Amino acid sequence: MNVLARNNVKVKGEGAQPMVFSHGFGCDQNMWRFVAPAFEQDYRTVLFDHVGAGGSELAAYDRNRYATLDGYADDVLRICHELRLEQTVFVGHSVSAMVGVLAAIKEPERFARLVLIGPSPCYINDGEYVGGFSREDILQLLESLDDNYLGWSSTMAPVIMGNPDRPELGSELTNSFCRMDPDIAKQFAKVTFLSDHRADLPKVKTPSLVLQCSNDVIAGDAVGEYVCRQLPAGQLVRLKATGHCPNLSAPEETIAAMKPFLGS
């Protein structure tokens, strides 16, 4: 199957340098609609859906291939190969931040910059490392998701989004979660929340920007600081935006934080 059709790839923009946008769990490329257009004049923007999300080809989902985040990183690289992308700026939100890290480790010559929005290499607390959750918390979360995915989505999406004074944002994320194939979503959640990519961060040669929101229940401040410390060429910018999805809740601030890094 053609990778561009499989991942519902959309290419826009007038610039020569490519910028690939990769969405988080339960989302699709529509989550970039307020951010990506700001870069179309200067970049060749590439948006896609992970297999199982949005307009991707559900029949292409393979539980073995996507049993780790490496399967998703390989998809990113296949898209880059198909479109012959070089000196790529990769913009990854949430779990896709680690997808970008893995892709950049595998083919460092293909990436010029990484923008990591709300990244977490490991969600589970481990000794002095603060991931934000105990192992029991994560197992309970996954059990709840397994028992009633739609109910879990309705409860958790607004919490993940934050911004309770703007309930329409939580509703949009809820609807996005509910559109995803439940069986695929359940496995993707397990792969996401049980992953541990702390040892991969020091291997990243690509200059990387970490965008950290305040009051992020999924990837808190300590996680953002950890990621930046472990990246050999990492920069940390703390946003005033709250919650886990500044690409929706604070797109102007997100764009403004990215542009100086990309121009440096």
Residue 118 has pLDDT above 80, yes or no: yes
Catalytic site positions: 94, 216, 244
pTM of the model: 0.96
**pLDDT of 178:** 86
Residue 240 has pLDDT above 70, yes or no: yes
**pLDDT of 23:** 97
- pLDDT tens, 155-193? 999 999 999 999 999 999 999 998 888 999 999 999 999
- Residues 30, 233, 95, 216: is their CA dihedral positive or negative? negative
Domain architecture of the chain: domains with CATH = 3-122+196-263 (3.40.50.1820)
- pLDDT tens, 132-151? 999 999 999 999 999 999 99
Crossing angle of helices 149-161 and 135-147, rounded to 10°:
130
